[in-house]
Amino acid sequence: MRLDKLLCECGKASRSEAGKLIRLGKVTVNGAVVKKADFKVDELADTVTLCGEDLCYKKFTYIMLNKPQGYVSATDDPKEKTVLDLVDNEDRRKGLFPCGRLDKNTLGLVILTNDGDGAHYVLSPKHHVKKVYRFECIFPLSSEDITRLEKGVDIGGYFTKPCTIEMEETQKGTITLTEGKYHQIKRMLEAVDNKITYLERISFGDILLDPSLERGQWRYLTKEEEKIFLRTGK
């Protein structure tokens, strides 16, 4: 990999900043200053430093975010705040994107990654990855409503796949989906003449939202969670 690319992938600089830092002699490879941006490094074997600090190259980054209301699940948006605005600059530069979408007013678990193949795999409807949402609705849900929703309802020309609902109270419970159509849960509740008033994703496959993360906070997935993410759907 080119030396300037390595600096970018480690989140230390944009491509043009990386070139400048290299030309200024701020970067060493295996102990020797290198001033050529296109110098080839073995990112897994060579020791690279920037201003004396070792760069730890990691092929992919995986982040768990507890999404607050008011942020859109996009990498950038001309008008709205995005989930990427909640992450440090250094990590943003690594080309992160949200793995699946939550609506602007939906809360909870979002996984951010730059692993396109991994994200594509877990998001593919073929792999039936379970996503659990805590919800509240405006009217009590009858057992007939629950049966209809669990079997599948028409949400405007699309018939939803079977899902599972567990109620805690008559207007509050969890719903487990294996697909993710646009505004799916909201439209499902509308199909039974109800309305969602609260929606929070609490798990994605076997990855659970860390209860110690406040809204708007994030952390890296642990090694164990990374393995789970990469196994999800397999």
Give the pair of three-digit tokens for residue 102: 């939550």
Region binding ligand URA by CB under 6 A among candidate stretches 88-96, 98-106, 137-145, 159-167? 98-106
Partners of 53 in beta bridges: 50
Query: Is residue 103 within the footprint of ligand URA (CB under 6 A)?
Result: yes
Residue type, 49: T
Select from 186, 204, 207, 225 the one that contacts ligand URA (CB under 6 A): 186
Select from 102, 141, 155, 191 the one that contacts ligand URA (CB under 6 A): 102
Region binding ligand URA by CB under 6 A among candidate stretches 9-17, 27-35, 60-68, 184-192? 184-192
Residue type, 226: E
Give the pair of three-digit tokens for residue 181: 């159509």
- Residue number with CB closer to ligand URA (50 or 109): 109
Of the candidates 46, 91, 103, 210, the residue annotated as catalytic is 103
x/- contact string, 106-145, with ligand URA (CB under 6 A)?
A: x---------------------------------------
Residue-level length of the chain: 234
What residues contact 23, with CB distance under 8 A and at least 6 apart? 35, 37
- Residue number with CB closer to ligand URA (25 or 125): 125
List Cα–Cα distances, 7 to 16, 18, 60, 124, 234, in angstroms: 10, 6, 14, 32, 33
Query: Is residue 183 within the footprint of ligand URA (CB under 6 A)?
Result: yes
Query: Is residue 160 within the footprint of ligand URA (CB under 6 A)?
Result: no
Between CA 148 and CA 202 the distance in angstroms is 23
Select from 66, 114, 184, 232 the one that contacts ligand URA (CB under 6 A): 184
Residue 4 falls in the annotated catalytic set: no
Region binding ligand URA by CB under 6 A among candidate stretches 11-19, 101-109, 145-153, 211-219? 101-109
Select from 55, 63, 199, 207 the one that contacts ligand URA (CB under 6 A): 199
What angle (nearest 5°) sits at the alpha carbon of residue 165, between those of residues 159 and 167? 145
What residues contact 69, with CB distance under 8 A and at least 6 apart? 104, 105, 106, 107, 215
Q: Total number of residues binding ligand URA (CB under 6 A)?
A: 8
Question: Are the CB atoms for 209 and 202 separated by under 8 Å?
Answer: yes
Q: What is the smallest separation between the CB atom of 75 and ligand URA, expressed in angstroms?
A: 17
- Residue number with CB closer to ligand URA (34 or 192): 192
Between CA 50 and CA 188 the distance in angstroms is 52
Question: Are the CB atoms for 122 and 225 separated by under 8 Å?
Answer: no
**Where in the sequence numbering do the catalytic residues fall?**
103
